[in-house]
Structure 1
């Protein structure tokens, strides 16, 4: 891709030089700047007609639907607060925006909406508030952001070029994301088979008497979890623990959000002092305990390690101490297997959200191989997991490189570092031939 013949210096953030015919324009001269409004969870309706958009990027930022709309137009919105501050979207049709979204409606047709979308994706990164660690771009900051504006004809050409190139990259990213999902599913299937059927394909099998489990090796025991537990205890509730008991950087309380891929990741804001720890001593975690989420994502759990000793089981969790017949790491693999999660969900209590209690967990039936086989299975799983992790890491690295390529393409096009005026969309035949 060629460059423009002549450039001029601007000394503007992100636009030190631009093509000579281009001009810098501030957002406030191109758009009417507005803001969304507070929309409560209570307003959202299962049968609502019009989407409510927020700062969240999942589901394209759609929180849900209500029966009224604030906007009936095509406009740009951006996230004003939080980790995604400065993220820009195009919204169209009848819709609503929450109060963490700013709105940009074109004053006149100087700036192509899609071109402005690409340009602001690039420009906003230079204008996040330094006093908030980049977590805010409010209306006044957005108003003063400048971006480089070529002629209308060039804007259309740049949009055509970027639409085509980013679509190709997005397609490749989607394929890698699909590959990652398939690898994870395959890995989980291999693990589930190993922990429920063993490693010897020639061993004699018997009916376990448990629907989700099917047949298991003949010499394995099948027993309710409670018979392999020395203790099971829910976290504190009611008057035992209040929000005012929390301090910063104290002894961690472990709730479901703090269980990440089998590891405990505490929140420095959800902690208590030594006096509270002592008062709630029956909820202390010990090495080898397994701590479970009591609500929401059933099967979510983690093993307590040496550096977690003395932390507290939170209100949303329950903890169990196993006997020596069941190795914690093996139990973790069982509990996080698809079959047992489905069983827990079926047996759990709670009409609107799955809710696990000690009775439900204790009566779930699981296979219990001899300890030496549990160790063999764990070694096998570690080996297999390592192979899948390498493949997943390779795909994740490819995605990162493609995302960087996408960002670089956009920045080069909207700053005039490349000249796409003569670019032509390849026809299908040329693409197939690699031309």
Structure 2
């Protein structure tokens, strides 16, 4: 590998390597050294570790929380403030501009960023605090901690039952990979430049995805409320918020066209049969994962019953807002049971189930149902009477079929574009991760790298 091109042939490897002594790392450039953070830094500590809720004030000394730490950058939104006297009494816990702070506990364990100048001399709540020495660049250390190598180190050092933690004692044993300081600067500058290019491309793709999703939703909402003929005759619906509807459409309620939560009585004699089983996480928008089979008698009590061609809709937040709903098809023996957090709507002869499926995704219905949700915390649910009594305009069945076929054709094309854009984002994120990892572990040599005089933001050449 020494002296050869790597990372898709774009960058050179270092001329000489040595064994790093770290099993997960392998070889390291011969002039780099491995040091624990306890040796490579001036200070490693933790922020305030006791309850501070009683000392929150509208103004005062800012307190940094784990939620403010993002991958490589500080998010200064949604800040809280401490009583100044309390903050002064705990002055030994402050952070300073340029310190590296890392998440101490939870799902983003080890995630690190640099304290910006405007938050100099403030407090943190249970975050790890690192003050670097003269031989360690804070930005280089941040890239190292956030890299795939750094995450492997955090995984090696973490402990805890149920909730992972990384304490000061363990964090001091984090192995940093140290080239000379000037080389750290070059690596950080290189990564700033290259990741900025990738981030710009990712942002463009994410904006495209957002626009496509907005257009997709607008097409569904317009089609199920105004029909497909823009020049067709309209009439007043008699409902203020519904406005004008196409002539021939009938104002109705959901309860008149579909049965909500059908009774289980006629599957009582099928207790020995197999059926599909659907936990909540296997119900997505237009997707039903059918990889679990149960015996009807095992699930008939305590779970929601449905059959092929029923419309399934999540009732609990955030699944409802995410439009986790589908027309059930392909069920084992035509029968399914699932989470009690699923609503089942069985269409009658007045409405096509595929049309009902799209009608339930329309903006006004979603807004009314979301606003009516009740319950504690993250378990808020849409009340059944909101669904049953929702007023809408129902087209004739022939027109229903034309509308859902049009929507299905449009959304299929739109979803294909969204999937391609999301795949492009995934590839770029993988490229970003690989580039950072290669640079901070010495797999590529960027000492001679120069930023292009005219940096094209539109493409990334591998």
- State whether TM-score is above 0.5: yes
In the alignment, is the contact (CA less than 8 A) between 1:36 and 1:97 conserved in 2? yes
Q: Call closer, same or farther: CA 1:18–1:164 in 2, change over 3 Å.
A: same
Which residue is equivalent to 1:96? Answer: 124
**Alignment-derived partner of residue 95 in structure 2:** 72
Distance 1:366 1:41 in 2: 50
Contact kept in structure 1, 2:260 and 2:343, CA below 8 Å: no
The reply to whether residue 302 of structure 1 matches residue 325 of structure 2 is yes
Correspondence for 2:431 among 398, 405, 409? 405
Displacement of 1:87 in angstroms is: 3.7
Pairs within 5 Å for 1:224-243 = 224-231=253-260
Q: Deviation at 1:355? A: 5.4
Unmatched segments (≥5 aa) in structure 2? 1-10, 88-92, 264-274
Question: What aligned pairs does 1:28-43 form with structure 2 within 5 A after superposition?
Answer: 28-31=38-41, 32-35=43-46
Aligned to 1:325: 350
Please say if residues 95 and 129 of structure 2, whose CA atoms lie closer than 8 Å, have aligned partners that are also in contact.
no
Taking structure 1 as the reference length, the TM-score comes to: 0.76
Of 374, 377, 381, which residue of structure 1 is paired with 2:403?
A: 377
Partner of 2:306, secondary structure, is coil
Matching residue of 2:16? 6
The SS at the match of 1:422 is coil
Q: Which residue of 1 aligns with 2:26?
A: 16
Q: Distance in 2 between matches of 1:258 and 1:45?
A: 41
- Deviation of residue 421 (structure 1)? 2.7
Partner of residue 305, structure 2: 284
Structure 1 residue runs without a partner (length 5+): 235-249
The answer to whether structure 1 residue 53 and structure 2 residue 74 are counterparts is no
Q: Give the equivalent residue in structure 2 for 1:240.
A: none
Residues 176 and 107 from structure 1, CA distance in 2 versus in 1: closer, same or farther, beyond 3 angstroms?
closer
Distance 1:423 1:108 in 2: 26
**Residue 109 (structure 1) aligns with:** 134
**Aligned-partner Cα distance in 1 for 2:313–2:425:** 34
Q: CA deviation at 1:203?
A: 2.9
The equivalent residue for 2:360 is 335
2:249 alignment partner in structure 1: 220
| Residue range with higher mean Cα deviation, 387-396 or 61-70 | 61-70
Q: 1:207 to 1:129 in 2, by over 3 A?
A: farther
Residues paired across the two proteins, number: 406
Distance 1:266 1:120, change over 3 A: farther
**1:422 equivalenced with 2:448 (yes/no):** yes
Equivalent residue for 2:199, pick from 170, 175, 198: 170
Residue 38 and residue 26 in structure 1: after superposition, are their counterparts in 2 closer, same or farther (change >3 A)? closer
Query: 1:276, CA displacement in angstroms?
Result: 8.1
Please report how far the alpha carbon of residue 149 of structure 1 lies from its aligned counterpart in structure 2 after TM superposition.
Answer: 0.5
Shift of 1:280: 4.2
